[in-house]
């Protein structure tokens, strides 16, 4: 994406949240971003995670998805209370636009920091974006153990032959 395109999508996310909080906002026309791409919106408050919601596979055009995900990250991430008006000035928004995920057969195909990873074991699922490895400093094994635990599984369950993985890359901007 060009720098201008990134700015428009970031403005869309920011102004969508501002409007929902009853704060001054600017109407952003991003309707030309109709591409169907997986995306995540991450909110950080003073450098710490404050909300993150996304879809690996697109369910609606990118501009609608970014607007909706910004509200979901602000109000529906179950790990955090709903965003308050007084917090908004301290919020940084990060958008991750994903490549089409591909299934891998062997974890040796997963490259730490380059790839995001989606784990599926029965009905248990979890995902980490590519930037999680750099942000946490985790090794590949530490990340995979955390991925298993995030899915509600035992830490080493990622090693089981019934575990399925999808990997993807992301264009990340804030």
Q: Which of 50, 58, 54 is nearest to 95 (CA)?
A: 54
| 27 and 71 part of one domain | yes
Q: Which of 141, 147, 143 is nearest to 124 (CA)?
A: 147
CB atoms near residue 151 (< 10 Å): 21
Q: How many domains does the chain have?
A: 2
For residue 67, give every residue at least 6 positions away whose Cβ sits within 8 Å of its Cβ, in sequence order, or none.
12, 13, 16, 30
Task: Supply the CATH number for residue 49's domain.
Answer: 3.30.700.20
Rounded Cα distance between 135 and 133, Å, is: 6
- The boundaries of the domain holding residue 125 are 102-169
| 93 and 115 part of one domain | no
Task: Supply the CATH number for residue 148's domain.
Answer: 3.30.1490.150
pLDDT given for residue 171 in this prediction: 96
Task: Please list, residue by residue across 105-139, b when 16 or more beta carbons sit within 10 angstroms of its beta carbon and e when fewer do.
Answer: eeeeebebeebbbbbbbeeebbbbbbbbbeeeebe
| 110 and 125 part of one domain | yes
| 78 and 110 part of one domain | no
| 44 and 91 part of one domain | yes
Q: Which two tokens stand for residue 46?
A: 């003073």
Q: pLDDT 10s digit of each residue in the chain, 174 long? A: 899 999 999 999 999 999 999 999 999 999 899 999 999 999 999 999 999 999 999 999 999 999 999 999 999 999 999 999 999 999 999 999 999 999 999 999 999 999 999 999 999 999 999 999 999 999 999 999 999 999 999 999 999 999 999 999 999 999
| 88 and 107 part of one domain | no
| 71 and 106 part of one domain | no
26, 11 in Cβ contact below 8 A? Answer: yes
Tell me how far apart the 2 most distant CA atoms of the chain are, in Å.
Answer: 52
Rounded Cα distance between 107 and 161, Å, is: 11
Rounded Cα distance between 120 and 126, Å, is: 7
pLDDT given for residue 117 in this prediction: 97
CB atoms near residue 140 (< 10 Å): 15
């Amino acid at each position: 994406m060009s720098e201008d395109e990134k700015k428009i999508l970031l403005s869309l996310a920011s102004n969508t949240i501002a409007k929902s909080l009853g704060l001054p906002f600017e109407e952003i026309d991003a309707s030309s971003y109709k591409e169907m791409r997986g995306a995540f919106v991450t909110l950080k408050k003073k450098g710490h995670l404050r909300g993150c919601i996304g879809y690996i596979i697109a369910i609606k055009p990118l501009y609608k998805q970014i607007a909706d995900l910004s509200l979901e990250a602000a109000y529906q991430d179950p790990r955090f209370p709903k965003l308050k008006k007084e917090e908004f000035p301290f919020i940084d928004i990060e958008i991750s636009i994903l490549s089409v995920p591909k299934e891998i057969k062997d974890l040796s195909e997963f490259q730490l920091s380059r790839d995001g990873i989606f784990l599926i074991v029965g009905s248990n699922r979890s995902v980490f974006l590519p930037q999680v490895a750099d942000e946490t400093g985790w090794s590949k094994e530490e990340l995979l153990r955390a991925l298993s635990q995030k899915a509600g599984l035992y830490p080493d369950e990622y090693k089981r032959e019934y575990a399925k993985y999808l990997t993807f890359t992301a264009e990340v901007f804030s």
